[in-house]
């Protein structure tokens, strides 16, 4: 693994740690000021402040007490300072006294600016029974 791949992995695991700490500010800190974020239900946030506010809200409501696990499936460097990161996500959350879970495939576009990787776009897609059968080729 190259040093840039390690750095991108580190960014992803910081994102995971921020989610698991229910820390909307730390989660959003990994995004560029003008980042775009499409969440699991198709809603759209633009800008770090909106991403932070949206996550602060869900960490206190529907995903209160949740835990996420990300694994990097693939990193594709378009340039030395731009990468597409394909993730696998498992989210566990309490609902009506029962632990529920689902899997998703977030895709990140990241840019390295002043030596630091930042997320400029994230699209999260839930894996459904219909869409989950195919594997990457």
Q: What is the mean pLDDT of the chain?
A: 94
Give the residue among 126, 121, 125 at the shortest CA–CA distance from 37. 121
For 89-113, what is the mean pLDDT? 95
Distance CA(19)–CA(25), nearest Å, equals 10
Tens of pLDDT, residue by residue over 11-24, are: 999 999 999 999 99
For 73-82, what is the mean pLDDT? 97
- The ranges assigned to domains in the chain are 3-126
| CATH class of the domain whose range is 3-126 | alpha beta
Task: Specify the pLDDT at position 88.
Answer: 97
Distance CA(72)–CA(58), nearest Å, equals 24
Q: Is pLDDT above 60 for 32?
A: yes
Distance CA(40)–CA(26), nearest Å, equals 20
Q: Is pLDDT above 90 for 137?
A: no
Tens of pLDDT, residue by residue over 102-136, are: 999 999 999 999 999 999 999 999 998 765 555 55
Task: Specify the pLDDT at position 3.
Answer: 95
């Amino acid at each position: 693994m190259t040093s840039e791949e390690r750095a991108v992995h580190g960014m992803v695991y910081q994102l995971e740690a921020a989610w698991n700490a229910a820390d909307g500010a730390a989660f959003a800190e990994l995004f560029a000021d003008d980042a775009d974020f499409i969440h699991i239900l198709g809603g759209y946030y633009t800008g770090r402040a909106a991403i932070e506010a949206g996550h602060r809200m869900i960490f206190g409501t529907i995903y209160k007490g949740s835990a996420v696990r990300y694994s990097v499936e693939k990193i594709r460097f378009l340039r030395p300072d731009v990468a597409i990161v394909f993730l696998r996500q498992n989210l566990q959350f309490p609902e009506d006294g029962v632990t529920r879970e689902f899997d998703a495939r977030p895709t990140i576009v990241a840019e390295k600016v002043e030596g630091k990787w930042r997320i400029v776009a994230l699209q999260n897609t839930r894996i459904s029974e219909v869409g989950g059968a195919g594997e990457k080729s």
